[in-house]
Amino acid sequence: MCDLHKAVDNSGIQTFADDTQIIFHFDASDTQNSSDILQLDLDKVHQFSMEHNLAINPDKTQVLLFCSDQKRKTVEDSFHLTTDGITLQHT
Long-range residue pairs from 76-85, CB within 8 A, at least 24 positions apart, any chain = 78/31, 78/32, 78/35, 79/31, 79/34, 79/35, 80/35, 81/35, 81/38, 81/39, 81/42, 82/39, 82/42, 83/42, 83/43, 83/46, 83/56, 83/58, 84/46, 84/56, 84/58
pLDDT at 33: 92
pTM of structure: 0.88
Written as tens digits, the pLDDT of the chain (91 aa) is 578 999 999 999 999 888 999 999 999 889 999 999 999 999 999 999 999 999 999 999 999 989 888 888 888 888 899 998 999 998 8
Instruction: State the sign of the Cα–Cα–Cα–Cα dihedral 69, 71, 76, 82.
Output: negative
Domain borders along the chain are: 4-90
